[in-house]
A = this chain, B = another copy of it.
Amino acid sequence: MSAPIRLGIAGLGTVGIGVVKIIQKHAELLSARCGCEIVISAVSARDRRKNRDADVSGYAWVDDPLELAARDDVDVFVELIGGDHGVAREAVELALKTGKDVVTANKALLAMHGQELAELAEEQGRVIRFEAAVAGGIPVIKTMTESLAGNRISRIMGVMNGTCNYILTRMESAGLPYETVFDEARRLGYLEADPQLDVGGIDAAHKLAILSSIAFGTRVAFDGVEIEGIERISIDDIHRAADMGYRIKLLGVAQMTARGLEQRMSPCLVPADSPLGQLQGGTNMVVIEADSVGQLVLRGAGAGEGPTASAVMSDIVELARKVRVPVFGQPAGSLTRAQPARTAVPAAYYLRLALLDKPGALAKVAAVLGDAGISIHRMRQYDHQGGTAPVLIVTHKTTPEAIDHAIAELPRTGVIAAEPVELRIEEVQS
């Protein structure tokens, strides 16, 4: 057995306490697997008197995470506080500067400052591991950084925000409107303090930006992600998509094209019987396409105490085994600056329109689409609802540009009663 590896854990919330519990419960198993003991030297959180779900009285308590980061009896600083600035960031930087490796679950921090942190870590000869930051218990970081190291990755797709997937699948199964399910999710504690992080797609976009960096050897570029949340998805859209064999998911897609790096996080239609279409509730899925391996699909719990702590533990075990992999899979200095590209890859689109009850309304709409070079694959008109007729169109493959153009032109027809809803139908091998 080598010398124990000594942890300082900052943050004793859902994830932090989950990690403490695993270390306490599986001490023997972990020693056998790591070849050394994993010990917790000290912990930190805001409120020392808070009742926690694990006994932390055996560890030194430090009020200030910065003090924890700088301690001599800590080899690995485990940051489980959260937030892309403030104490989490400062403590991570200080830990690296004082010679510690860092394990974190903080996607916001990595999405915003991943490059600087990776450079700092390398300068200091330290590493940062962050398996838990993307898709919770699913080992996607390790898979991309290590298992697929012999591949050129061409596309990543993922459902990576459990709360959004919960809301969308619950709307469908219970037939409830967005607002009702949103309130329910809030009551159940599924939403972040700032719900925009979830339903606005920001949290999932953070994760996508991190995956892109590893996949394409580029600097994390969160500001290159086109983001759209799920707020405008109505129960009507969900039902009508289902009628045509689709489900709506908040789907992240990143791919390298000749024009640059496309990254988008947006509600999309996927075939109801595809693996992505079948994801229920908080489950996450990542689909990776690469030159040698072909398609790889990983599915599991994307959040929650156990799954997230499991991922944090995998990083801790890695360091205990003296495994040291570059932060984003290759030296930070070799990561290129990707040209961000707006989505240009063609796809079929779903359009939901509310037409005024005027003669020739449908023909006018069809003409606008035709002028934009868009051909119609399927169209359904539903019963009038208070003077307007809902119309649903699935186009043949077309470009996002053509769709934008058509949508901009539609109001000129004088038959459009409400803002059109347009959703991409992402092609997914099933």
**A314 in complex: contacting residue of B29, B148, B152, B312, CB < 8 Å:** B148
**A32 in complex: contacting residue of B142, B217, B307, CB < 8 Å:** B217
- Tell me whether A300 and B294 are in contact (CB under 8 A): yes
**Residues from 307 to 365 in A contacting B, C-beta threshold 8 Å:** 307, 309-314, 316-318, 321-326, 329-331, 334
Q: Which residue of B lies closest to A144 (CB)?
A: B139
Q: How far is the CB of A210 from chain B (nearest CB, A)?
A: 17
Task: For the complex, give the distance between the alpha carbons of A323 and B146 in Å.
Answer: 10
Q: Please report the total number of A residues contacting B with Cβ < 8 Å.
A: 60
Q: How far is the CB of A33 from chain B (nearest CB, A)?
A: 5
- Tell me whether B290 and A310 are in contact (CB under 8 A): yes
- Tell me whether B323 and A310 are in contact (CB under 8 A): no
- Tell me whether A294 and B307 are in contact (CB under 8 A): yes
Q: How far is the CB of A321 from chain B (nearest CB, A)?
A: 6
| Across-interface contacts of A217 in B (CB, < 8 A) | 29, 32
- Tell me whether B33 and A330 are in contact (CB under 8 A): yes
Interface residue? A26 (CB, 8 A): yes
Q: How far is the CB of A45 from chain B (nearest CB, A)?
A: 21
Task: For the complex, give the distance between the alpha carbons of A139 and B145 in Å.
Answer: 12
- Tell me whether B296 and A150 are in contact (CB under 8 A): no
Q: Which residue of B lies closest to A29 (CB)?
A: B152
Q: How far is the CB of A129 from chain B (nearest CB, A)?
A: 11
| Across-interface contacts of A323 in B (CB, < 8 A) | 146, 321, 323-325
Q: How far is the CB of A20 from chain B (nearest CB, A)?
A: 12
Interface residue? A298 (CB, 8 A): yes
- Tell me whether A148 and B310 are in contact (CB under 8 A): yes
Q: Which residue of B lies closest to A318 (CB)?
A: B146
Given A298-B297, A300-B296, A291:B314 Cβ within 8 A: no
Interface residue? A420 (CB, 8 A): no
